[in-house]
Amino acid sequence: MTPFASALLDWFDHHGRHDLPWKQPRDAYRVWLSEIMLQQTQVATVIPYFQRFVAQLPTLRDLAAADEDTVLALWSGLGYYRRARFLHRAAQVCVAQHNGEMPHDFDALAALPGIGRSTAGAILAQAYGLRFPILDGNVKRVLTRYHGIAGYPGEREIEKQLWLHADTHTPAERAADYTQAIMDLGATLCVRTRPLCAMCPVQGACIAHRDHLTAQLPTAKPGKKIPTRSTIMLILRDAEGRLLLQRRGPQGVWSGLWSLPEAEETGGAWREAQRHARIDDAQPLTPFVHVFSHYRLQIQPLLFDHAAPAHAIADNADLRWCAITDLPALGLPAPVRTLLMALPEPTTS
């Protein structure tokens, strides 16, 4: 065991996070679910989503048997919805090919949708106690600073160095505790800005601390200007208060989620609205911006009240009129859900 791992485990025994819900019990399904949810998402945000998810889908077989709308509704608000689809698909593969269990074999795990090297290692270490390194964002930050590695961690050569260090430090004993310890260190002390170096159990040998480089390491991703796009979201509400929802296609952001019809400009918005209903007037609502990882979306909501459905849509699986009370059971993008739940009361006709 390296001095780094030994110091980290001693610290974890006294200061680690031992009450995380996916650790009680720490089985493969719960570990896997937490690892996927925690990708690019903070622990405090994940905990209520995790608890709600396992309350409704407590086992891998329950997840595999659920319909996609149920899975996406439980995921709604966490973002990066491809994670939820991969999770669902991987559970179905486990039922079909692995007797309804997460595999104990690294190659079989890594072959499942949405599971890469680090996630596979985390499952094997956390759930089965096997010696496999991990390299999530928190671990990259800890090792980059500890070893003083300059260069963006997403670059192949830098990541290769980090994997070598991750493997060197992962002990044969207490692999589950070690992987949790290094994630805890990155999440609680070795944070992105203003790390708490004075409380760190390995600060005595940390190069970034020694050389006053904690603000510079890890090296930031090369800057890239994020473009802005615009869209008009059509909110068609009929006399019963139902809203017209449209399932998005398989490509692009929010793929497969229920959302609102859209148009690029006002004339197109009216034409699109008239395809679905007879309309009299439109009320522009407050515009807002939603930021994705690769662009900003300027959204102008346009409310068409007292819309009279132009034709039956029962045969169209990608369109439906829904009551507000139906929305919690559907997978909707978080900003769309927030928009619909905050609609003004219908105007009198």
Return the HEC string of the chain: CCHHHHHHHHHHHHHCCCCCHHHCCCCHHHHHHHHHHCCCCCHHHHHHHHHHHHHHCCCHHHHHHCCHHHHHHHHCCCCCCHHHHHHHHHHHHHHHHCCCCCCCCHHHHHCCCCCCHHHHHHHHHHHHCCCCCCCCHHHHHHHHHHHCCCCCCCCHHHHHHHHHHHHHHCCCCCHHHHHHHHHHHHHHCCCCCCCCHHHCCCHHHCHHHHCCCCCCCCCCCCCCCCCEEEEEEEEEECCCCCEEEEECCCCCCCCCCEECCEECCHHHHHHHHHHHEECCCCEECCCEEEECCCCEEEEEEEEEECCEECCCCCCCCCEEEECHHHHHHCCCCHHHHHHHHCCCCCCCC
Catalytic residue numbers? 35
Give me the residues paired with residue 288 across strands.
299
Whole-number Å distance between alpha carbons of 232 and 266 = 8
Helix axes 117-128, 175-188, angle to 10 degrees: 120
Whether residue 322 contacts residue 243, with contact meaning beta carbons closer than 8 Å, is answered with yes
Whole-number Å distance between alpha carbons of 17 and 185 = 10
Whether residue 241 contacts residue 324, with contact meaning beta carbons closer than 8 Å, is answered with yes
Whether residue 261 contacts residue 277, with contact meaning beta carbons closer than 8 Å, is answered with no
